[in-house]
Amino acid sequence: MTTLALTVADSATMFRRQLKHLLRYPAMTVLLVGMPVVFLLLFVYVFGGQLGAGLVPGHAGAGASRGAYLTFIVPGVLLMTVAAAANGTAILVAMDMTEGIIARFRTMAIARASVLTAHVLGSVVQALCGVAVVLGVALALGFRPRAGVLEWLAAIGVMALFAVALAWLAVALGLAAKSVENASNTPMVLTLLPFLGSGFVNPATMPTGLRQFAQYQPFTPVTDTVRALLGGAPVGSSALVAVAWCVGIAALSSLWATRLYERRRITH
Amino acid sequence: MTAPVLSTPVRARSARGSGGPAVAARGVRMAFGTTVVLDGVDLEVEEGTVFALLGPNGAGKTTMVNILTTLLEPDAGEIVVAGHDRLAHPDAVRRVIGMTGQFSAVDKLLTGEENLRLMADLRHLGRAAGARRAAELLERFDLVEAARTPVARYSGGMQRRLDLAMTLVGEPRLIFLDEPTTGLDPRSRRTMWDSIRELVAGGVTIFLTTQYLDEADQLADLVGILDRGRIVATGPPRELKAALPGGHVELRFADAGSVDRAAALLDGAQCDPEARTVQVPGDRSVAFLRGLLDRLAAAGLDAESLAIHEADLDDVFFALTGHPTTTEHRP
C-alpha cells in the first residue's frame, strides 16, 4: 500500500474506534448538544421579547420581537454548538492520551496522524449532529429560514469547515493540557466567543474596545456568513474572511497538534 | 564481593537459540534532565530465546524497553532490533515487534473482540482474516465468554490476557513484555508464564523485564541484571547462581547424638542441634553426594532426609549490587 492509502486506511480504522466511543458514552454528546438548546430557549423566551425589539421597526408586539430575535440568534447558537463539540474533543483527546493503548499505537507501524485525524472527524460528526438537533428545535420554535438548496449546502459547508478548524485547535489544546481538568477549561472560552461577536447582538451597539474585538474575531464573519445564507441575504465579503479564518486556524492547529503528538514523551 | 564469571556482556549459548541476535544494543544512554537513567547499557539477545532484564524499581528497565520499542529516543547508543537499525528506521522495527507494556494497553471503552479487531485492522489483515484471528485469540486466551463485554468490566488478569492477545494479532517474532505479571494473583501469573512458554515453543523471541527473581529463573535463557542504569551481570540463571558461593547440602538426623557425630565427621559442617540438622558446603553434583553418603554409611550414620540448597538469584543480586532487590511488592 502507498503511504496515502495507509494513512486513509488507518484513519478510517481510528475513526471507527472514535465513533464507538461516542456511541457507547453518549452522555457527553447529550450534554454538549443540550447546552446550546438551553441557551436558545433562554434567549428566545426570556430575553427575546426585549432584545428583539431593536430588530423590528416601530412598535411591534413582544411576539414579533421574539420571532425576529430567534431568526437573528440561530446562527450564533449553531456556532456555539460547534464550539461545544470542540470543547468536548479537547477533553476526549486529553483522556485518550492517558490510556495505555496510545503507547501501543506508537509501537505499531501505523500512520502517525491517524489518531488525531480520527478525533477531528469524530468532533465534526458530533458538531454536525448537534447542529441538526439545534436546527430542529429552532424550526419547532418557529424559525423559518429563506435559504434555497444551494444556500443550505453552503451554510452546512461553512459550519463543517469551521468545525474542522475548531476540532484541530481542540486536539492541540487537549494534547497541550497538563491534565484532563485543564483540557476541559481552556477551550471553554470558545463557547463564549459567540457572545463577544455578532452571535447575539449587533456589535455596533458595543463599546469601542469590545466592538473592535467583536468585529475582528473569527466567530463574527462565520456567524455573518451563516446568517446571510440562511436568511437568503447577500453574503458579501464575510464568506471569504470566514473561509480564510477556518483554513488558517486548521492549518496552524494541525501543525501544532502533530508536533505535540510526536514530541509527547511517555511519562512513566 | 565480586563474582568471577560475570563480566559484561556475556553472550549466552542456549540450546534453543539459533540465528543471530534479535536485539543488540551497545552504549545506550538516557537521561531525563540531570537524572541519568541508563548509563551505557550493552546487551544482546539471541533469536528464539527468552531474555529477562532483572532489576529493582527505578533501575531503568522500562526506559530500556521503551527505547527498544521506539517509544523513546535515547541520548546515545547503537541499537539493532530484529535486524533493523532502531534509530534510523523505527517503522521497520514497529512492523515486526509486539509490545505489552506495564500498564494495560487496551481500549477500555471497547469490548475484547473490538480491541482485537482494531489491532487486526491496524495490521491491515483484512476483514475475514481479522475476524478469524480475533476468534482464535479469544479462544486461546479463554476470553470467549467475555468477548462482547466492555474491557472496563474485565478483571486485572483478563485485561492482561487480552493485552497479550492484542500483541499477538500481528504474529510478531519478537515480543517485549514489560513486567508482564506485576500485580497479578499467583494463578493469573502461572497462566501468563504458560502463555509465554507456548510462544517460545513456537520460536518467538521474548524480551521481558521483571523484578521477580523466580520469574527470571522460571522463564529466561539469559538474565541481564540492571542496577542504577548499568548491566552488572549477564548469564543464564544457573550460571549466575553457580558462580556464587553459598550452596550447601542439609542432612537431617533422628537424634542429637547422630548430629554431633556427623558434624565431627564432615569437613566444614555446621550443625543445628535443635533442628537436628547438619549443613555441609557443596553442590548438587552426583560425585559429591555419593562421597558424602558413603562416608556417612561407613560411619554407620543414617540420615533421615537430605536437601540441596543452591544460591538463588536473590543471593546473586545482593552479591553483585550490595543491596537487596525490592521485594515488598512481591505477591
Task: Identify the residue with better confidence: A257 or B315.
Answer: A257
Neighbours of B87 (CB within 10 A): 16
Dihedral angle over CA of B129, B132, B133, B137, nearest 10: 180
Shared-domain flag, residues B115 and B216: yes
**Closest residue of A to B120, CA-based?**
A13
Mean local confidence (pLDDT), A182-191: 82
Total structural domains in chain B? Answer: 2
**Closest residue of B to A114, CA-based?**
B122
Shared-domain flag, residues B218 and B264: no
Domain that holds residue B267: 248-313
| B121 interaction partners in chain A (CB closer than 8 Å) | 9, 13, 16
Mean local confidence (pLDDT), B294-321: 79
Q: Is the pLDDT of residue B272 over 70?
A: yes
Domain that holds residue A175: 3-263
> Is residue A101 situated within a structural domain?
yes
- We report the CATH number of the domain holding residue B114 as 3.40.50.300
> Is residue B49 situated within a structural domain?
yes
Q: What is the DSSP letter of B111?
A: B
Helix, strand or coil, per DSSP, at residue B106: coil
Shared-domain flag, residues B267 and B184: no
B299 touches chain A (CB under 8 A): no
* Facing residue for B109 by CB, picked from A1, A25, A266: A25
Dihedral angle over CA of A200, A204, A209, A212, nearest 10: 90
Chosen domain end from B242, B266, B287 = B242
pLDDT (0 to 100) of residue A66: 87
pLDDT (0 to 100) of residue B306: 87
Separation between Cα atoms, residue B38 and residue B151, nearest integer Å: 35
Cβ partners under 8 Å of residue A168, min gap 6: A120, A249, A250, A253, A254, A257
Say whether A103 and B71 touch across the interface (CB within 8 A).
yes
What residues pair up with B150 in beta bridges, in sequence order? B111
* Facing residue for A100 by CB, picked from B91, B106, B124: B106
Mean local confidence (pLDDT), A188-211: 89
Mean local confidence (pLDDT), B64-89: 93
Mean local confidence (pLDDT), A210-220: 93
A25 touches chain B (CB under 8 A): yes
pLDDT tens, residue by residue, A95-121:
898 888 888 998 999 988 899 999 999
Shared-domain flag, residues B163 and B273: no
Total structural domains in chain A? Answer: 1
% of chain A at pLDDT higher than 70: 97
| B122 interaction partners in chain A (CB closer than 8 Å) | 10, 13, 105, 108, 110
Q: Is the pLDDT of residue A85 over 80?
A: yes
pTM of the model: 0.79
* Facing residue for A103 by CB, picked from B97, B105, B108: B105
Shared-domain flag, residues B220 and B93: yes
Shared-domain flag, residues B174 and B280: no
Q: Is the pLDDT of residue A226 over 70?
A: yes
Helix, strand or coil, per DSSP, at residue B72: coil
> Is residue B323 situated within a structural domain?
no
- We report the CATH number of the domain holding residue B252 as 3.30.70.100
Residue A173 vs residues A97, A100, A167: alpha-carbon distances, Å:
12, 20, 10
Neighbours of B107 (CB within 10 A): 26
pLDDT (0 to 100) of residue B7: 36
pLDDT tens, residue by residue, B154-173:
998 899 899 999 999 989 99
> Is residue B91 situated within a structural domain?
yes
Say whether B106 and A25 touch across the interface (CB within 8 A).
no
Mean local confidence (pLDDT), A31-60: 85
Shared-domain flag, residues B213 and B281: no
> Is residue A194 situated within a structural domain?
yes
> Is residue A141 situated within a structural domain?
yes
Q: What are phi and psi of A264, to 5 degrees?
A: -60, 125
Chosen domain end from B182, B217, B242 = B242
CA neighbor of A109 nearest in space, from B134, B176, B170: B170
Separation between Cα atoms, residue A213 and residue A222, nearest integer Å: 15
Q: Which residue has the cell 515480543?
A: B175
Q: What are phi and psi of B233, to 5 degrees?
A: -165, 145
Q: Which residue has the cell 471507527?
A: A16
B250's enclosing H/E stretch is strand B248-252
pLDDT (0 to 100) of residue B325: 54
Chain A / chain B CB contacts < 8 angstroms: 64
Separation between Cα atoms, residue B147 and residue B138, nearest integer Å: 7
Q: Is the pLDDT of residue A225 over 80?
A: yes
A263 touches chain B (CB under 8 A): no
Separation between Cα atoms, residue A164 and residue B65, nearest integer Å: 37
Shared-domain flag, residues B203 and B299: no
- Scanning B14-73 for CB atoms below 8 A from A yields 62, 66, 69-72
Chosen domain end from B210, B226, B242 = B242
Shared-domain flag, residues B255 and B238: no
Q: Is the pLDDT of residue B314 over 90?
A: no
On average, the pLDDT of chain B sits at 85
> Is residue B4 situated within a structural domain?
no
B101 touches chain A (CB under 8 A): yes
C-alpha cell at A121: 472527524
Shared-domain flag, residues B57 and B188: yes
Mean local confidence (pLDDT), B278-297: 84
Confidence band of B3 (pLDDT split at 50, 70, 90) = very low
If you write DSSP's letter for every residue of chain A in order, what string do you get? Answer: --HHHHHHHHHHHHHHHHHHHHHH-THHHHHHHHHHHHHHHIIIIIIHHHHGGGTSSSS--HHHHHHHHHHHHHHHHHHHHHHHHHHHHHHHHHHHHTSHHHHHHHTS-S-TTHHHHHHHHHHHHHHHHHHHHHHHHHHHHT------HHHHHHHHHHHHHHHHHHHHHHHHHHHH-SSHHHHHHTTHHHHHTTTTTTSSS-GGGS-HHHHHHHHHSTHHHHHHHHHHHHHT---TTHHHHHHHHHHHHHHHHHHHHHHHHHHPPP--
pLDDT (0 to 100) of residue A183: 83
Shared-domain flag, residues B72 and B177: yes
| A24 interaction partners in chain B (CB closer than 8 Å) | 109-110, 150
Confidence band of A267 (pLDDT split at 50, 70, 90) = very low
Distance of residue A264 Cα from the nearest chain B Cα, in angstroms = 10
Residue A137 and residue A40 in contact, taking contact as beta carbons nearer than 8 Å:
yes
Mean local confidence (pLDDT), A237-266: 90
> Is residue A227 situated within a structural domain?
yes
Q: What is the DSSP letter of B330?
A: -
Amino acid at B105: A
Peptide bond into A203 cis (omega under 30): no
* Facing residue for A107 by CB, picked from B99, B102, B104: B99
> Is residue A268 situated within a structural domain?
no
- Scanning B139-168 for CB atoms below 8 A from A yields 150, 166
Separation between Cα atoms, residue A196 and residue B201, nearest integer Å: 67
Distance of residue B94 Cα from the nearest chain A Cα, in angstroms = 5
Q: What are phi and psi of B206, to 5 degrees?
A: -120, 130
Q: Is the pLDDT of residue B312 over 80?
A: no
Shared-domain flag, residues B141 and B270: no
Distance of residue B115 Cα from the nearest chain A Cα, in angstroms = 9
CA neighbor of B23 nearest in space, from B31, B12, B32: B12
ipTM of the predicted structure?
A: 0.85
> Is residue B100 situated within a structural domain?
yes
Gyration radius of chain A's alpha carbons: 20
CA A2 to chain centre: 33
Sign for the pseudo-dihedral over CA of B156, B157, B159, B164 = positive
